[in-house]
Chain A
């Protein structure tokens, strides 16, 4: 299996997840002491996903066991993140934090791009991995 396209896409996912979420976290905690618990949890999950994606790159590069299964699980988490942001926006959780709404839309957009890349990665991996047995290696 050619791992390079998967690693390349994972690298892009790390970039789209990590840079905006770190910028958002820095702004969030510098503005006020009181930060929405739900929003800080979501930004934390986004940074955690970027760390997972970085670990996947290392594991795929070194051809570790369970690296493909691990990568596949991470892709699904990446897809779930923008869905969480969209749900929060629809439910109006941040109506009080009107000054943060621009940042929220940025996070939703960048995580949405990352989710699209993860979807492509799942398709690429699905083509590469003919059957589920391949995931075990």
Chain B
């Protein structure tokens, strides 16, 4: 009897040890760190980005981009220092032409999300701004206040000068001046954009703060109010390489409106997945911003495509540059569906004739 009790207790101890070992391992499978987009945190505290939502409307060389992000700072002290109570971020959007910037609404995302559901598929604060003198490689095109945002559009020839301008910008706006060394990695990324013709940069400033729950500081998710950018582009453009500035995972959901169907090879090669694609009536998007409606004024039917990216931000090494028009890949699912059916009919006929 004693032997049996000892065996049972040994067995229970083993199970307990196994649970202690396996459960954290299992839970760690679901823990991920998020970060994304062109945000320079000051001081350099890692930022997690829960979602990056955008509506892209493109027609005949004109693009309207409505962009919103949900950011959450990660509780991770940098080099043993204590966590700051507030910190700031400078958001950067590289573009090829001078953008027109305007305030947008969250409801536009709901309108398009509702549309995708109807067809039943599948599936702050603001830091004040006072602008300083212009550097040689940086020219201020215009500044505009939109609600809590103070947008500055710059024309940039030199990435070093852009970084110097950002340091000055932070200083003038009573933001903590970012460390020079931490900005070195940005010089390379900005240089690549400038070399590829993206010489216009839309700059915005954001501020994060935290609250204490049970004595522990918890940074709250911070949703950046959507902004509308209108600019010229030969193709559907969405900056992604600037996301490579951050670490960890990111989630991006883009609602793309276009006159013609998108070429899927441009989307799939970047790791995006098309979750919805349908030709819709222009009347169905009448609740959207007038700049979007104006873009399709002579069109009755447009394509609504929803694409999603889930993965590491560091893997976003290229910008999203999508062309519209015919592509064999648009019909790949139909072809793959029909191939086994045709083959089965042919094989069945051959086997029947041979065996008869």
Which residues of A come within 8 Å of B, CB atoms? 25, 29, 31-37, 39-41, 43-45, 47-49, 51-52, 54-55, 58-59, 62, 64-67, 70, 96-100
**CB-based contact B122/A100 at 8 Å:** yes
- In angstroms, Cα B276 to Cα A100, docked, is 12
Partner of B122, one of A55, A59, A64, A96: A96
What 0/1 pattern do residues 95 to 111 of B give for CB contact below 8 A with A?
00000000000000000
Quote the shortest CB–CB distance from B200 to chain A (angstroms).
32
Which residues of chain A have C-beta atoms less than 8 A from B338's C-beta?
A: 44
Is B277's CB within 8 Å of the partner chain A? yes
- In angstroms, Cα B352 to Cα A62, docked, is 10
Ordered nearest first, which 5 A-B pairs have the shortest CB separation? Answer: A34-B277, A48-B344, A97-B122, A64-B355, A55-B348
Which residues of chain B have C-beta atoms less than 8 A from A35's C-beta?
A: 333
Q: Interface on chain A toward B: helix, strand, loop, or mixed SS?
A: helix
**CB-based contact B336/A99 at 8 Å:** no
- B123, B278, B334, B338 — most chain A CB neighbours (10 Å): B123
**CB-based contact B340/A96 at 8 Å:** no
**CB-based contact B119/A34 at 8 Å:** no
Which residues of B come within 8 Å of A, CB atoms? 119-123, 261, 264, 273-279, 305, 308, 330, 332-334, 336-341, 343-345, 347-348, 351-352, 354-356
Residue of A nearest to B344 (CB): A48
**CB-based contact A66/B273 at 8 Å:** no
- B338, B343, B344 — most chain A CB neighbours (10 Å): B344
- In angstroms, Cα B336 to Cα A43, docked, is 9
Residue of B nearest to A38 (CB): B336
**CB-based contact B340/A99 at 8 Å:** no
Quote the shortest CB–CB distance from B131 to chain A (angstroms).
43
Q: List 11 A-B contacts (CB under 8 A).
A: A31-B120, A34-B264, A37-B333, A37-B336, A40-B336, A41-B336, A48-B340, A48-B343, A55-B344, A59-B352, A98-B123
The answer to whether A25 and B337 touch (CB under 8 A), given A31-B119, A48-B343, is yes
Q: Interface on chain B toward A: helix, strand, loop, or mixed SS?
A: helix
Partner of A62, one of B337, B351, B356: B356
The answer to whether A64 and B352 touch (CB under 8 A), given A41-B336, A98-B122, A99-B120, is yes
**CB-based contact A96/B337 at 8 Å:** no
Quote the shortest CB–CB distance from B276 to chain A (angstroms).
6
Residue of B nearest to A50 (CB): B344
Which residues of chain A have C-beta atoms less than 8 A from B348's C-beta?
A: 51-52, 54-55
- In angstroms, Cα B119 to Cα A98, docked, is 14
- In angstroms, Cα B338 to Cα A54, docked, is 18
The answer to whether A37 and B354 touch (CB under 8 A), given A45-B340, A48-B340, A48-B343, is no
- B121, B261, B264 — most chain A CB neighbours (10 Å): B121
Which residues of chain A have C-beta atoms less than 8 A from B261's C-beta?
A: 33
- In angstroms, Cα B274 to Cα A33, docked, is 10
Residue of A nearest to B303 (CB): A33
Which residues of chain A have C-beta atoms less than 8 A from B341's C-beta?
A: 44, 47-48, 51
- In angstroms, Cα B338 to Cα A48, docked, is 9
Residue of A nearest to B336 (CB): A41
**CB-based contact B119/A70 at 8 Å:** no
- A32, A49, A66 — most chain B CB neighbours (10 Å): A32
Residue of A nearest to B331 (CB): A33
Quote the shortest CB–CB distance from B307 to chain A (angstroms).
9
Quote the shortest CB–CB distance from B143 to chain A (angstroms).
40
Partner of B333, one of A40, A47, A66, A96: A40
- In angstroms, Cα B348 to Cα A48, docked, is 10
- In angstroms, Cα B338 to Cα A70, docked, is 22
- In angstroms, Cα B354 to Cα A52, docked, is 15
- B122, B261, B348 — most chain A CB neighbours (10 Å): B122
**CB-based contact A51/B344 at 8 Å:** yes
Quote the shortest CB–CB distance from A104 to chain B (angstroms).
10
- In angstroms, Cα B171 to Cα A47, docked, is 67
**CB-based contact B305/A66 at 8 Å:** no
**CB-based contact A59/B351 at 8 Å:** yes
**CB-based contact B122/A31 at 8 Å:** yes
Which residues of chain B have C-beta atoms less than 8 A from A47's C-beta?
A: 340-341, 344
**CB-based contact B279/A32 at 8 Å:** no
**CB-based contact A34/B344 at 8 Å:** no
Quote the shortest CB–CB distance from A68 to chain B (angstroms).
10
- In angstroms, Cα B347 to Cα A54, docked, is 12
